[in-house]
A and B are shown apart, each in its own frame.
Chain A
Amino acid sequence: GAVVSQHPSWVICKSGTSVKIECRSLDFQATTMFWYRQFPKQSLMLMATSNEGSKATYEQGVEKDKFLINHASLTLSTLTVTSAHPEDSSFYICTAGLSTDTQYFGPGTRLTVL
C-alpha cells in the first residue's frame, strides 16, 4: 500500500528558531499533499494544500509567512515553521494521495517549542 513518511518524528527547538518538517510519499507520486495541525485531544485542522510546482493554498487564518510550504517534487513537501514560538507547539500531520479518492496519512511530527 501507499506509504507516507514524515521527518523528523519529533523535534524540540528554542523559541525564535525555524524548524523544517519533511513529508515524503515513498512509493507513489503525489501532485497534492495536505498539511494538518492537531492540538492535544483536538481534531485535525487543515493548514494548507501543497501543490507540486506552484504556491501552496493556505486556509483562512493560517499565516503563510509563518508556515512556509515548498512542494519541490512529486514525492516531497516541506513545512517550515519560521521563528517558532511556544504556541506553535503541536502535532503536524501531512497527507498525500494517489488520486482524488484516498488520502494516506503520515505518522505526524510533534513539535515542541521551548
Chain B
Amino acid sequence: AQRVTQPEKLLSVFKGAPVELKCNYSYSGSPELFWYVQYSRQRLQLLLRHISRESIKGFTADLNKGETSFHLKKPFAQEEDSAMYYCALRSLGGYNKLIFGAGTRLAVHP
C-alpha cells in the first residue's frame, strides 16, 4: 500500500536551531516525493520536490531509497519558517494524484 508517514505532529525549535522534519514512505516502484508548506491562513504550496534537488528557502530534502525516507532539513530555522509541512508522494498510476502525510507543524520561537 502507498503510504506517507510523518511521525511528529509538532516540532518546536528556537530560532537558529537546526530543523529536521521526518517523512517515511511505502511505495512499490519509483516514487516521486514532495514537500508542501502551508503558512497561516494561506493555501498549500509546493516547497520542493526530490527530482529537482534544489534548496528552497534554505530547506533541502534527500530521497533515501534504502531507508524509504525523505526528511526535510534546514540548518538554521527562522521564525518565518513556522508553518504546517506536508510530505507527499505522487502515485504514477495515471493521474498524478498525491498522497499526503499527516503533516508536521513547525513552530520556531524567538
Contacts and interface: CB of A to CB of B under 8 A. Distances in A.
Interface of A is mostly: strand
Contacts of A32: 95-96
B100 A44 contact: yes
The range of chain A's interface size is 20 to 34
A105 B44 contact: yes
B57 interface: no
A71 to B, nearest CB: 12
B86 A44 contact: yes
Contact of B103 (A43, A49, A108): A43
Q: How large is the interface on B (under 10, 10 to 19, 20 to 34, 35 or more residues)?
A: 10 to 19
A8 B107 CA distance: 30
B44 A93 contact: yes
Nearest to A34: B97
B56 interface: no
Contacts of B96: 32, 97, 100, 103
A55 to B, nearest CB: 13
Interface in A22-37: 32, 34, 36
A66 to B, nearest CB: 20
A20 B99 CA distance: 25
A97 B95 CA distance: 11
A43 B95 contact: no
> Among A43, A95, A97, which residue has the most Cβ atoms of chain B within 10 A?
A43
8 contacts: A44-B44, A46-B97, A49-B97, A51-B95, A100-B96, A103-B96, A105-B45, A106-B43
Interface of B: 36, 43-46, 86, 95-103
Interface of A: 32, 34, 36, 42-46, 49, 51, 57, 93, 95, 97, 100, 102-103, 105-108
